[in-house]
Structures are given as C-alpha cells and as structure tokens.
Structure 1
C-alpha cells in the first residue's frame, strides 16, 4: 500500500486553485477523492466538500478568493459543520479512511 502525505491548509488552498496536479506529486490525492461524498455525508450534514465550502462562504474561483480564506474562520466552520474539532483531525480522519479503501 502506497502511503500518501497529508494535505496542509496551504496545500488545500493550492488544490482549490488547481495548482496541485498529478504531475507535481504522483502521491497527490484530490480533495474530491479525499473528502468524497461518503466522507462528507458521514461526518457532516453536507453531501459534498464543495457544499461545505459554499456554506462557509468560501467561494473559491480566483487567487484572491483563496487569499481571503482565513485559517481561523476555516477552523470555526469545521467545528460548526462537521463532527471534527479542527482541520487537523478532519484531515487525519480523511487520510485514514482513504488509506483504508486502498
């Protein structure tokens, strides 16, 4: 089983912007794969990661949008909308569940 590295908040922002690609890192997992619909439904009242971002008013379409995501606001949104205490625990769980499916 190939182990992938966890995604940091900075990497999340790059992924949302579309900067991360398979060519850059063959172990890269897209957010759609990591935070798939089953994961989001299990750990939140939202069906998709896109809906999660939208509900938090994290509308990411441009570099400026990405720069406007404040880490503290993102953390608060995670606490409000998921069963996680913070981004780190959400990310770790997503990575474990993803690895378990491989």
Structure 2
C-alpha cells in the first residue's frame, strides 16, 4: 500500500464521526500536561458532576471549573484539544 492510500484510509476512518471514548481522549498524559488534576473523573468530581453523561446538563458549571483547573477557557476548547492530540497520536502511530 502506498503512502497516500495509507493516509487517505486513516483519515476516512477517523472522519466517520466515530465516538471516541473519553478515556482515550483525556489520557493521563493529556490531563497532566494541560490541567491541575490527574483524570477527567477528578475534574468532574470537583464540579459535582457524577459522570460524563452529565456534562451537557452542567456545561456552565463545568466551563467555570475548566477555567479554574485547566489551561483552557471552555469545555469545548478542552475537548477540541484532546481530540486533536488523539488524532495526532493516531497519525503518528501509522508510521511506526
């Protein structure tokens, strides 16, 4: 398989609106690099949010805590950064 087919296939797979589990996005490396907590669960606990299914319901509260405990200004910004890191790592691993 040539380089362009490999890249095209990987991007096609990643671009199919796959649901990436939060534990794959918010790795310990990501959380250590960008936040003052070790895990997403720890961040949610500081917000009195029981689990990831409750995030949308408590978005305003979470956004305030995101500013307090992370290098991001909002949940969306943090989620976007985690997604970019995940995709970058996936692309890098294609060539190992």
State the TM-score, normalized to the length of structure 2.
Answer: 0.70
Q: Is the 8 A contact 1:58 1:69 kept in 2?
A: no
Q: State whether residues 72 and 78 of structure 2, in contact with CA within 8 Å, keep that contact through their aligned partners in structure 1.
A: yes
Query: Who wins on radius of gyration, i.e. which is larger?
Result: 2
- Structure 1 contact 37–47 (Cα < 8 Å) conserved: yes
Q: 1:5-64, CA deviations, whole angstroms, 9 ceiling, x for partnerless residues? A: 7xxxxxxxxxxxxxxxxxxx7x22100111111111111111111111112221239x7x
Aligned twin of 1:43: 34
| Residue 60 of structure 1 pairs with residue 51 of structure 2 | yes
- d(CA) in 2 for partners of 1:31, 1:96: 13
1:55-78 superposed Cα distances (whole Å, 9 cap, x missing partner):
2221239x7xx3894221111011
Structure (1/2) with the larger helix percentage = 2
Runs of at least 5 residues in structure 1 that lack an aligned partner in the other structure: 6-24
1:91–1:4 distance in 2 versus 1, CA, 3 Å: farther
Q: Which has the higher contact order (CA 8 A, sep 6+)?
A: 1
Note the aligned Cα RMSD (angstroms).
2.5
Structure 2 CA distance for partners of 1:101 and 1:50, relative to 1, 3 Å:
same
TM-score, reference length from structure 1:
0.66
Aligned residues: 79
User: Equivalents in 1 of 2:85, 2:51: separation in Å?
Assistant: 26
The answer to whether 1:70 aligns with 2:62 is: no
